Amino acid sequence: MIELSNIWKRYSATEVLKGLNLKVEEGEFISIRGKSGAGKTTLLKIIGLLEQPDKGEVKISKKPVNNLSDDEKSSIRVHQIGFVFQFFNLIPSLTVLENIELPLALAGIDKNLRKKRATALLEYFGLEGFAERFPNTLSGGERQRIAIVRALANNPRIILADEPTSSLDDENSRLLMDLLKKVNRDRKVTIVLTTTDLYENLPTRIDYILKDGRLFER
């Protein structure tokens, strides 16, 4: 599903990724663990086609993506990849339902179908009670669960979750992990999750440590 070969990436003086390799099979759930500044977000941005590596090849669904046009990349992003960012990024002026409709709007789906799909998704996760609420009326854990539902709106094949539990307490972290586990199991979505916690037990099958610009199996 995802294949990175010999990826190098630097920001001015900082060499962040140094010949990194990663292969993620379809339906896999993996973690990338590393200290703050190790390059986890950079790596997710490269997988998510938001950053270009300086060197190395990226393949999504066996297709090399390095030389695609911006339009082609954004099409892959919209249709195949769902992002959950470290800091809640729900749009405050939109209701929960409208937030979930947003990626569907970007994909050009009409208003009625959008609403239907967003509602069905909330119901699937038992979160329909939040539909008409605004993000600032939700707890951090609720917001992050909604962010995952939104990431699923376009039925992506891949979810990239960047430290999704970093601002959550234990109970909310567990709820979020349960949600991701369900998404992975029921919908066969490939999930790549990052965390600064090197020891935490996660519902992942494979755990990597990102260190010195490369990945090591934990």
Ligand X SMILES: Nc1ncnc2c1ncn2[C@@H]1O[C@H](COP(=O)(O)OP(=O)(O)O)[C@@H](O)[C@H]1O
**Contact flag: residue 16 with ligand X (CB under 6 A):** yes
**Contact flag: residue 165 with Mg ion (CB under 5 A):** no
Cβ proximity to ligand X: between 41 and 165 the closer is 41
Residue 38: name its binding partner from Mg ion, ligand X, none (Cβ under 5 to 8 Å by kind): ligand X
Q: Which of 3, 7, 29, 41 binds Mg ion (CB under 5 A)?
A: 41
Burial class (CB in 10 A: 0-12, 13-18, 19+), 57: middle
Q: Which of 11, 23, 63, 198 binds ligand X (CB under 6 A)?
A: 11
User: Which string of x and - marks every residue 24-63 that binds ligand X (by CB under 6 A)?
Assistant: ----------x-xxxxxxx---------------------
Among the listed ranges 15-23, 35-43, 63-71, 75-83, the one in contact with Mg ion (CB under 5 A) is 35-43
Q: Identify residue 196 by its one-letter amino acid code.
A: T
End-to-end CA distance of the chain: 21
Closest CA to 107 of 139, 49, 152: 152
CA–CA dist 176, 29 (Å, integer) = 14
* Footprint of Mg ion on 72-131 (CB under 5 A): none
Cβ proximity to Mg ion: between 40 and 145 the closer is 40
CA–CA dist 218, 30 (Å, integer) = 11
Buried b (16+ CB within 10 A) or exposed e, 22-42: bebeeebbbbbbbeeebbbbb
Residues within the interface to Mg ion (CB under 5 A): 40-41
Residues within the interface to ligand X (CB under 6 A): 11, 14, 16, 34, 36-42
